[in-house]
Amino acid sequence: MDGIHDLGGKPGHGEVVVEKDEPAFHSRWEAAVFAMEAAGIAAGVWTNVDRFRHAIERIDPIAYATHGYYGRWLGGIENLLVEAGVVTRESIDARMEKMGGSLQDLVASRPNLVPDPVGDEPAGRGSSRVVNRKPKFATGDLVMTSRKAKSGHTRLPAYARGKTGAVVLTHDAWVYPDSNAHGQGEDPQYLYTVQFTGSELWGAGDENIKVSLDLFEPYLSAVDGRKLS
Partner 1 sequence: MTDHDREPQAIRAEALESLLIEKGLLTADAIDEVIVRYSERVGPMNGARVVARAWIDPDFKQRLLEDGTSAINEFSFEGGRIEKLVVVENTEKVHNAVVCTLCSCYPWAVLGLPPRWYKDPQYRSRIVREPRTVLKEMGLDLPADLEIRIWDSSAEVRYMVLPQQPEHSLGKSEQELAQLVTRNSMVGVESL
Give 196: exposed, middle or buried? Use CB within 10 Å, 0-12, 13-18, 19+. buried
Residue 98 CB, shortest distance to partner 1, in Å, is: 8
Q: Indicate whether 23 belongs to the interface with partner 1 (CB under 8 A).
A: yes
Site for partner 1 in 183-222 (CB under 8 A): 191, 193, 195, 198, 201-202, 206, 208-216
DSSP code string of 34-62: HHHHHHHHHTTS---HHHHHHHHHTS-HH
Q: Indicate whether 143 belongs to the interface with partner 1 (CB under 8 A).
A: no
Which string of b and e fits 52-85 if b means at least 16 CB within 10 Å?
Answer: bbbbbbbbbeebbeebeebbbbbbbbbbbbbbbe
Q: Indicate whether 2 belongs to the interface with partner 1 (CB under 8 A).
A: no
Answer for the pair 198, 207: CB distance below 8 angstroms, yes or no. yes
Residue 146 CB, shortest distance to partner 1, in Å, is: 13
Residue 193 CB, shortest distance to partner 1, in Å, is: 7
Answer for the pair 216, 135: CB distance below 8 angstroms, yes or no. no
Give 37: exposed, middle or buried? Use CB within 10 Å, 0-12, 13-18, 19+. middle
Instruction: Give the range of 113-121, 133-141, 142-150, 152-160 binding partner 1 by CB under 8 A.
Output: 152-160
| Among 16, 114, 130, 204, interactor with partner 1 by CB under 8 A | 16
Site for partner 1 in 90-129 (CB under 8 A): 91-92, 95-96, 98-102, 105-108, 126-128
Q: Indicate whether 162 belongs to the interface with partner 1 (CB under 8 A).
A: no
The site that binds partner 1 (CB under 8 A) totals a number of residues, namely: 92
Q: What are the CA-CA distances from residue 187 to residues 6, 114, 130, 140 (Å)?
A: 23, 23, 11, 26
Instruction: Give the range of 20-28, 110-118, 129-137, 141-149 binding partner 1 by CB under 8 A.
Output: 20-28
Residue 95 CB, shortest distance to partner 1, in Å, is: 4
Our CB check for partner 1 shows the closer of 69 and 138 to be: 69
